A and B are shown apart, each in its own frame.
Chain A
């Protein structure tokens, strides 16, 4: 990690110097926006309501609100990136510390082009590369809604990154590499539903921010779109239609239920996805959720090579015994679980993910699934980190990854050990 950071910093500095010109070029080549008059407080209910919905779809609240503080959009939440933390800004209409005096143009430039009011670039911890797919009307609807929330005086210092990442100009190089500005363009060969789904996923929903693998500089690996990535100590799994690692065996109904209720007959959402569901997708209309499902079901998973099924070995035998003694009471001996209560490990793409980060974390510390209006219980899984040592956790995970007719790379005791050490430093 440290090494990665050092390389990154070095590279960023060089890139910053070399590409600043191009970077500046990119920023100024972006769709010119009409310099609006100072935004006036509107009373247009339909516009505000559209903005409220889009704000939920775009999940602005998750980063711009500190959970449990009761000050929506007042900012200050520290957003974790692979390079350090960036605090999200105050986007309430407070005149001094929020966006109260911003022009529509300035707001639009921040949300869709990652440009701060002072012209400096924003870090992509603010997912403007996705929001760039929205239209100006969408963004101004969000603005109209934000104008109706309570103004909160809360000065936020966003710059928490270490030098030289603290030099924002460096981000211009990043933009040149990874930022492809531009509104969503529908694909006429696809259905309106598919296009709506594409817009939601690639635009305001910013699903790829977590689910698309990242380059070493934190940019999206576009050839691997939605094929799974590590995020904040979790693994956001492959959500393409891949039949082993992705959603290939989930029906559109399964996907809709998961996004709306946090639970379906096979799985339950936890960690960052629990938050995404609670704040965002559980508020979307069923039509929009089916559109997302249609789009995801049309994403090719790529052919992540499936390792050959594992023959019986010591780890599988030990894992099988541990599974039977400790896990099977809830997840059932045949791995089918109990619908809407205990996930079906036999059918979970997340269990077979190429990266076992989430699995190790759940077994070591336990997990609690999201509680939603339709599934209000939020069943949790107890922690086993006190009972199972590194090799036992590795064995039971190797077992569930290679049973019930599926196969995935084994988990090693070293991986569990590293995860245990890292988790000790994490609170949530």
Chain B
């Protein structure tokens, strides 16, 4: 309900002058609409929306070094972290939608957030190009994805410690961004493209988007027996359905 100036004047007039005005009484339950809310739109499988194939190969390689596969759990690549990052960069997050991004830009403290009009999408694009140039120049003209695990780790460690500088972009900031994004892709709801088959949740025993754990609040050191559920459900509901 919006209060218009006229209504306000009318109601104050009542207070001061005793003129009759119509008050509106709000009673009963809150307004309700069928099918209310904005349902999430699941990331759909398919071609890359933001990355080129080469960029995607580099991201997948980095994801697999940040979260390497082991016999029980797939690594960052197979868990879909690159898909997660791709869909994020292609969407409002990549475009910095909703953030104030106009000049002037001053170098600020870390807590003051990014000081640039280049959003994450542009940062990734520039950094991946610079990383590719770095690898080709310093590692026998090979792309990052074609390096050995030891070489990849060496470069990532170099970016993290600022030992390796990327041309035209901040390598350390890029490393921090991708470290964060790969983890988010791994643990976020599968709806967003990562955490494929809820592998990350199964690994840590997180039961997912369930409503209610009251029965378990006081049961310590016991394994929760139910499988995890995504916001969109889980494949186990209807075995054999695509």
Give me the interface of A with B, judged by CB distance under 8 Å.
318, 321-322, 324-326, 328-330, 364-368, 371, 376-378, 380, 382-383, 385-388, 391-392, 395, 428
Residues of B within 8 A of A382 (CB): 37
Partner of A391, one of B210, B231, B238: B238
Taking a contact as CB atoms under 8 Å apart, the answer to whether A325 and B29 are in contact is no
Partner of A325, one of B37, B39, B210: B210
Taking a contact as CB atoms under 8 Å apart, the answer to whether A318 and B237 are in contact is yes
**CB nearest to B214 among chain A residues:** A329
Residues of A within 8 A of B19 (CB): none
Taking a contact as CB atoms under 8 Å apart, the answer to whether A329 and B241 are in contact is no
CB distance from A15 to the nearest CB of B (A): 38
Q: How many angstroms between the C-alpha atoms of A392 and B210 in the bound complex?
A: 17
Taking a contact as CB atoms under 8 Å apart, the answer to whether A368 and B32 are in contact is yes
CB distance from A211 to the nearest CB of B (A): 23
Taking a contact as CB atoms under 8 Å apart, the answer to whether A321 and B237 are in contact is yes
Taking a contact as CB atoms under 8 Å apart, the answer to whether B28 and A371 are in contact is yes
Taking a contact as CB atoms under 8 Å apart, the answer to whether A385 and B233 are in contact is no
Residue B229 lies at the interface, judged by CB distance under 8 Å to chain A: yes
CB distance from A382 to the nearest CB of B (A): 8
Residues of B within 8 A of A395 (CB): 237-238
Q: How many angstroms between the C-alpha atoms of A366 and B231 in the bound complex?
A: 17
Q: How many angstroms between the C-alpha atoms of A186 and B2 in the bound complex?
A: 54
**CB nearest to A332 among chain B residues:** B212
Residues of B within 8 A of A366 (CB): 34-36
Taking a contact as CB atoms under 8 Å apart, the answer to whether A385 and B35 are in contact is yes
Residue B142 lies at the interface, judged by CB distance under 8 Å to chain A: no
For window 11-67 of chain B, which residues contact chain A by CB distance below 8 Å?
Answer: 28-30, 32, 34-37, 39-40
Residues of A within 8 A of B229 (CB): 325-326
Taking a contact as CB atoms under 8 Å apart, the answer to whether A392 and B238 are in contact is yes
Taking a contact as CB atoms under 8 Å apart, the answer to whether B212 and A329 are in contact is yes
Taking a contact as CB atoms under 8 Å apart, the answer to whether B211 and A330 are in contact is yes
Residues of B within 8 A of A365 (CB): 34-35
Residues of B within 8 A of A385 (CB): 35
A-B contact count (CB 8 A): 64
**CB nearest to B32 among chain A residues:** A368
Taking a contact as CB atoms under 8 Å apart, the answer to whether B232 and A321 are in contact is no
| 3 A-B pairs with the lowest CB-CB distances in the bound complex, closest first | A329-B211, A386-B39, A329-B212
CB distance from B231 to the nearest CB of A (A): 8
B211-242 vs A, Cβ < 8 Å mask (1 yes, 0 no):
11000000000000010010111101111010
CB distance from A331 to the nearest CB of B (A): 11
Give me the interface of B with A, judged by CB distance under 8 Å.
28-30, 32, 34-37, 39-40, 210-212, 226, 229, 231-234, 236-239, 241
Taking a contact as CB atoms under 8 Å apart, the answer to whether B226 and A324 are in contact is yes
Beyond the given pairs A322-B233, A330-B211, 4 more chain A to chain B contacts, judged by CB atoms under 8 angstroms and listed by A's residue number, are A328-B212, A329-B211, A371-B29, A378-B30
Taking a contact as CB atoms under 8 Å apart, the answer to whether B29 and A376 are in contact is yes
CB distance from A336 to the nearest CB of B (A): 14
CB distance from B16 to the nearest CB of A (A): 27
CB distance from B94 to the nearest CB of A (A): 25
Q: How many angstroms between the C-alpha atoms of A380 and B238 in the bound complex?
A: 27
Q: How many angstroms between the C-alpha atoms of A330 and B236 in the bound complex?
A: 22
Q: How many angstroms between the C-alpha atoms of A377 and B29 in the bound complex?
A: 6
Taking a contact as CB atoms under 8 Å apart, the answer to whether B233 and A428 are in contact is no
**CB nearest to B232 among chain A residues:** A387
CB distance from B226 to the nearest CB of A (A): 7
Taking a contact as CB atoms under 8 Å apart, the answer to whether B237 and A383 are in contact is no
Taking a contact as CB atoms under 8 Å apart, the answer to whether A378 and B29 are in contact is yes
The residue in B237, B238, B239, B241 that gathers the most chain A C-beta atoms within 10 A of its C-beta is: B237
Residues of B within 8 A of A367 (CB): 34
Given known contacts A377-B29, A391-B238, is B34 in contact with A428 (CB within 8 Å)?
A: yes
CB distance from A342 to the nearest CB of B (A): 11
Q: How many angstroms between the C-alpha atoms of A265 and B237 in the bound complex?
A: 31
Residues of A within 8 A of B233 (CB): 322, 325-326, 387-388, 392
Taking a contact as CB atoms under 8 Å apart, the answer to whether A392 and B211 are in contact is no
CB distance from B46 to the nearest CB of A (A): 20
**CB nearest to A385 among chain B residues:** B35
List 15 A-B residue pairs with CB atoms under 8 Å apart, sorted by A's residue number: A318-B238, A321-B237, A322-B233, A325-B226, A325-B233, A329-B211, A329-B212, A368-B29, A380-B32, A383-B35, A387-B232, A387-B233, A392-B238, A395-B238, A428-B34
**CB nearest to B34 among chain A residues:** A365
Residues of A within 8 A of B34 (CB): 365-367, 383, 428
**CB nearest to B240 among chain A residues:** A314
Given known contacts A325-B229, A385-B35, A386-B39, is B237 in contact with A392 (CB within 8 Å)?
A: yes
Residues of A within 8 A of B238 (CB): 318, 391-392, 395
Taking a contact as CB atoms under 8 Å apart, the answer to whether B29 and A321 are in contact is no
CB distance from B207 to the nearest CB of A (A): 9
Residues of B within 8 A of A383 (CB): 34-37
Residues of B within 8 A of A368 (CB): 29, 32
CB distance from B125 to the nearest CB of A (A): 34
CB distance from B224 to the nearest CB of A (A): 13
Residues of A within 8 A of B32 (CB): 368, 378, 380
CB distance from B27 to the nearest CB of A (A): 9
Residues of A within 8 A of B37 (CB): 382-383
